[in-house]
Amino acid sequence: MARTTTIHTQTVSGWAAHDSSGKITPHTFHRRENGINDVTIKILYCGICHTDIHYVKNEWGVTKYPIVPGHEIVGIITKVGSNVNNFQAGDRAGVGCMAATCLNCEFFCISGHENYCDQVQFTYNGVFWDGSITYGGYSDFLVADHRFVVRVPKNLPMAATAPLLCAGITVYCPLKDNNLVDSPGKRIGVVGLGGLGHVAAKFAKAFGHHLTIISTSPFKEKEAKDRFGADDFILSTSTTQMQSKKRSLDFILDTVSAKHPLGPILELLKVNGTLVIVGAPDKPMDLPSFPLIFGKRVVKGSMIGSMKETQEMMDVCGKHNITCEIEVVRTDQIDEALNRLANNDVKYRFVIDIAHQSSKL
Residue 306 domain flag: no
The reply to whether 159 and 19 lie within a common domain is yes
What is the model's pLDDT at position 6?
72
The reply to whether 154 and 250 lie within a common domain is no
**What is the C-alpha separation between 95 and 267, in angstroms, rounded?**
38
The reply to whether 53 and 19 lie within a common domain is yes
Residue 296 domain flag: yes
DSSP assignment letter at 139: B
The reply to whether 154 and 43 lie within a common domain is yes
The domain total for the chain is: 2
Residue 182 domain flag: yes
The reply to whether 107 and 242 lie within a common domain is no
Q: Is the backbone of residue 296 left (phi > 0), alpha (psi -120 to 50) or beta?
A: left
The reply to whether 160 and 180 lie within a common domain is no
CATH number at residue 271: 3.40.50.720
**What is the C-alpha separation between 30 and 141, in angstroms, rounded?**
11
**What is the C-alpha separation between 80 and 37, in angstroms, rounded?**
8
The pTM for the full model equals 0.93
Residue 330 domain flag: yes
Asked whether the CA dihedral 65, 66, 72, 78 is positive or negative, the reply is negative
The reply to whether 279 and 253 lie within a common domain is yes
Has residue 175 got a pLDDT over 80?
yes
Residue type, 330: R
What is the model's pLDDT at position 16?
98
Has residue 150 got a pLDDT over 50?
yes
Q: How many residues does the chain have?
A: 361
The reply to whether 212 and 93 lie within a common domain is no
Backbone angles phi, psi at 7, to 5 degrees: -110, 125
The reply to whether 147 and 295 lie within a common domain is no
* 8 vs 270, residue with greater confidence: 270
What is the model's pLDDT at position 4?
54
What is the model's pLDDT at position 282?
76
Residue 162 domain flag: yes
Residue 361 domain flag: no
pLDDT per residue over 326-357, tens digit each?
Answer: 999 999 999 999 999 999 899 999 999 999 74
**What is the C-alpha separation between 91 and 78, in angstroms, rounded?**
8
pLDDT per residue over 255-297, tens digit each?
Answer: 998 899 999 999 999 999 999 999 988 788 999 999 999 999 9
Domain that includes residue 249, residue range: 167-301
What is the model's pLDDT at position 283?
84
pLDDT band at residue 5, thresholds of 50, 70 and 90?
A: low
Residue 315 domain flag: no
What is the model's pLDDT at position 258?
87
- Residues 6 or more apart whose CB falls under 8 angstroms from that of 303 comprise 115, 116, 170, 173, 278
The reply to whether 155 and 27 lie within a common domain is yes
The reply to whether 234 and 248 lie within a common domain is yes
**What is the C-alpha separation between 56 and 14, in angstroms, rounded?**
14
Identify the burial level of 328 via C-beta atoms within 10 angstroms of its C-beta, where 0-12 means exposed, 13-18 middle and 19 or more buried: middle
**What is the C-alpha separation between 294 and 249, in angstroms, rounded?**
15
**What is the C-alpha separation between 127 and 119, in angstroms, rounded?**
10
Average pLDDT over residues 135-150: 98
Whether 335 contacts 341, CB under 8 Å: no
Report the 10 Å Cβ neighbour count for 18.
Answer: 14
CATH number at residue 107: 3.90.180.10
Q: Is 306 helix (H, G, I), strand (E, B) or coil?
A: coil
pLDDT per residue over 20-73, tens digit each?
Answer: 999 999 999 999 999 999 999 999 999 999 999 999 999 999 999 999 999 999
The reply to whether 162 and 14 lie within a common domain is yes
Has residue 359 got a pLDDT over 70?
no
pLDDT per residue over 203-257, tens digit each?
Answer: 999 999 999 999 999 999 999 999 999 999 999 999 999 999 999 999 999 999 8
DSSP assignment letter at 70: -
What is the model's pLDDT at position 281?
81
Report the 10 Å Cβ neighbour count for 122.
Answer: 18
Whether 14 contacts 317, CB under 8 Å: no
Residue 312 domain flag: no
